[in-house]
Amino acid sequence: MDFELPKEDDPRRLEVRAWFAARPRPTGRQLAEAGYATPHWPKPWGLEADAELQLIIDEEMKRAGVTAPNLINPVAVNNCAQSLLTQGTDAQRERFLTPAIAGEEIWCMLFSEPAGGSDLGALRTTARREGDHYVVNGQKIWTSLAHKAKVGVLVARTDPEAPKHAGLSQFLIDMDTPGITVRPIIDLSGHENEYNEVFFEDVIVPADRLVGQEGEGWAISMRQLQTERVALSKPGAIWGAGPSARELIAGLDKVGALDDPLVRDEAAAIYIEGEILRLLAYRSLSDRMNAKAPGPEGAVRKMLAAPHGQRVVDLAKRAQGPRGMMVGEQAFPPTPGRKGAYDDWDYAFWFSPAVTLGVGTQEILKNVVGERMLGMPRELDPSAKVPWNQGQAARRGEQAA
């Protein structure tokens, strides 16, 4: 066991640094072709990189001031695109992978619905097979990036006669297909929309856009969400990005807040958590290096990282006093060279309620951890075993009664 991080003069680091020095403003395509967009993927898309090399590339990209492809196109790079490596067809890999990891085609995840968020298996959007295509009808909600996306990863019900989880399938759809309407949701931060509603009215999706087999939608989607939970457990306060506890300490120090013993004690506790989460994130990198499939450990890390992030931005906000209630008022000057949306302390604070809601609410994650890692009995779901359409009919009856 060692916690030795790659040194400054590590030959692999020097090689990566030289690459960025020669290309001060690399295009997404260049990054993808060099394997730097998805270093842990197999060739030709990645470098089959081990944990150290991934970390080096990550750090060198940051140092070069290049926005990482997983921030530009998170749905594709962090979660969904790698399903094509195992479940996709050759034609799908050829068509989708390079534009995705190069950030040329933004992806969005069409999973949650008004009737199926935490209970994703209850979703109602249908995809009906008609000859060489499917016809999609329904509604999605809380879709990040739908207003910018070219490609949508859609989970829809292909078999209403099957039990709720068994009747789902996954598709890659073109977001500009007729019949798709995207409507922004303005969240409580009042900031430019992060989330959208997406409506489908008789949307035609060619049959060759099915990912894997019909009925595999639930299993494929769960794997993608677990990968996200791993990806999201970096030390930044918001989805792993934005300010970390280290920047909180630096900021509090600058404004003299650490002289207050209560602030000092709380700040230290948050800092310690942040350092531990860093180590846990490295451990998840090691796991990925050992080609371990993402499992429920990712849920533990997200369960820890999300409230930690909220504590980071909350203490920063409280250090401002009443001025912190002014729109756009920053707790601390932004860290130089960091210009992501979440690097804005004020926005990060007002956005932070989202991190215990998105990608599995805190409550659902605790169920996953309790059930899958500690063997607690599963939650009761009377609708899980019956054919989905019968369950629907039963619920309508209940409501009528």
Partner 1 sequence: MNFSISDDHQMLKDSAQVFLNQQISLKPLLSPGATVRDAGYAANWAKIAEMGWPGLLIPEEYGGAGLSCIDLVMIVEELGRTLTPSPFLGTLLGTLAVMKGGDATLKTRILPKVAVGEIALALAAAEEGGREDGSDRTQATERGGAWRLTGRKAFVIDAAEAQMLVVTARAGDRGARRLFLVDAKQAGVEVAIEPWRDITRQICTVTLTGAEAELLSEGGDDLWPWVRDRALLALSAENAAGLRHVLDVTADYARQRVAFGRPIGAFQAIKHALADMLGQAECARTATLYAAWALSQEDPRARLAAAMAKAYSADAYVEAAHRSIQIFGAIGFTWEMPNHLYLKRARGNAELFGASREHRSRVIDLARAELAA
Count of alpha carbons within 13 angstroms of residue 211, beta-carbon side: 28
State the minimum distance, in angstroms, from the CB of residue 357 to partner 1.
16
State the minimum distance, in angstroms, from the CB of residue 291 to partner 1.
13
Between CA 202 and CA 182 the distance in angstroms is 15
Work out the angle at residue 67's Cα, subtended by the Cα atoms of residues 141 and 38, and round it to the nearest 5 degrees: 80
CA 327 to centroid of chain Cα atoms: 27
State the minimum distance, in angstroms, from the CB of residue 238 to partner 1.
19
State the minimum distance, in angstroms, from the CB of residue 122 to partner 1.
19
Identify which of residues 14 and 268 has a Cβ nearer to partner 1 in the complex.
268
State the minimum distance, in angstroms, from the CB of residue 360 to partner 1.
12
CA 343 to centroid of chain Cα atoms: 17
Which pair of structure tokens corresponds to residue 228?
């996200």
Identify which of residues 1 and 22 has a Cβ nearer to partner 1 in the complex.
1
State the minimum distance, in angstroms, from the CB of residue 174 to partner 1.
40
Identify which of residues 145 and 300 has a Cβ nearer to partner 1 in the complex.
300
State the minimum distance, in angstroms, from the CB of residue 85 to partner 1.
25
Q: What is the DSSP string of 275-304?
A: HHHHHHHHHHHHHHHTTPPP-THHHHHHHH
339 C-beta neighbours (distance < 10 Å), count: 11
Between CA 301 and CA 46 the distance in angstroms is 25
Identify which of residues 212 and 296 has a Cβ nearer to partner 1 in the complex.
296
Identify which of residues 265 and 329 has a Cβ nearer to partner 1 in the complex.
265
Identify which of residues 161 and 363 has a Cβ nearer to partner 1 in the complex.
363
For residue 374, the one-letter residue type is L
Identify which of residues 15 and 265 has a Cβ nearer to partner 1 in the complex.
265
Q: Return the H-helix or E-strand segment holding 91.
A: helix 90-101
Q: Return the H-helix or E-strand segment holding 197.
A: strand 195-206
Between CA 191 and CA 196 the distance in angstroms is 13
Residues that bind partner 1 (CB under 8 A): 1-6, 51-52, 55, 246, 249-250, 253, 258, 261, 264-265, 267-269, 271-273, 275-276, 279-280, 282-283, 286, 290, 300, 303-304, 363, 365-367, 369-371, 373-380
What ranges make up the beta strands (E) of 12-143? 107-110, 126-130, 133-141
